[in-house]
């Protein structure tokens, strides 16, 4: 697993890049695509540390979007649900071996 301080630097860098996208004044479509690419990049870092979670963030985001569409959320709120890609980011802060421990 990546050391916590290294992962925090990665998270901060992606956060900085996401914030800097706003200054580009791109149209909404390309801006949202660029944000989604950055979120997916960070999600891949999570999956690299936890290969057993491969695709889990994408599936979670897909389910969140399906539910949001079913209840009629407007498009601007749907975009924010892509952050579900990162719902397991806290796993990166756990000590090595904690997730593989067996309970007696």
Mean pLDDT of all residues in 91-104: 68
- CA dist list (Å): 37 to 8, 30, 34, 81: 19, 11, 5, 14
- d(CA 4, CA 79) in angstroms, rounded, equals 28
Is 100 inside any structural domain?
no
Three-state SS annotation for 30-95: HHHHHHHHHHHHHHHHHHHHCHHHCCHHHHHHHHHHHHHHHCCCCHHHHHHHHHHHHCCHHHHHCC
Mean pLDDT of all residues in 4-32: 75
76 or 66, which is more confident = 66
Predicted TM-score (pTM) above 0.85: no
pLDDT of 67 reads 94
Is 103 inside any structural domain?
no
Is 86 inside any structural domain?
yes
Mean pLDDT of all residues in 46-71: 88
Range of the domain at 23: 4-93
Is 54 inside any structural domain?
yes
Average pLDDT, the chain: 79
pLDDT of 100 reads 67
Pair 89, 11: CB distance under 8 Å: yes
Is 44 inside any structural domain?
yes
């Amino acid at each position: 697993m990546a050391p916590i301080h290294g992962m925090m630097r990665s998270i901060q860098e992606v956060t900085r890049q996401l914030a800097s996208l706003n200054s580009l004044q791109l149209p909404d479509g390309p801006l949202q695509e660029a944000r989604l690419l950055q979120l997916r990049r960070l999600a891949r870092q999570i999956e690299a540390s936890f290969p057993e979670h491969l695709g889990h963030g994408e599936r979670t985001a897909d389910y969140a979007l399906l539910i949001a569409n079913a209840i009629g959320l407007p498009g601007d709120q749907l975009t924010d649900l892509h952050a579900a890609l990162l719902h397991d980011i806290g796993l990166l802060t756990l000590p090595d071996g904690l997730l593989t421990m067996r309970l007696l």
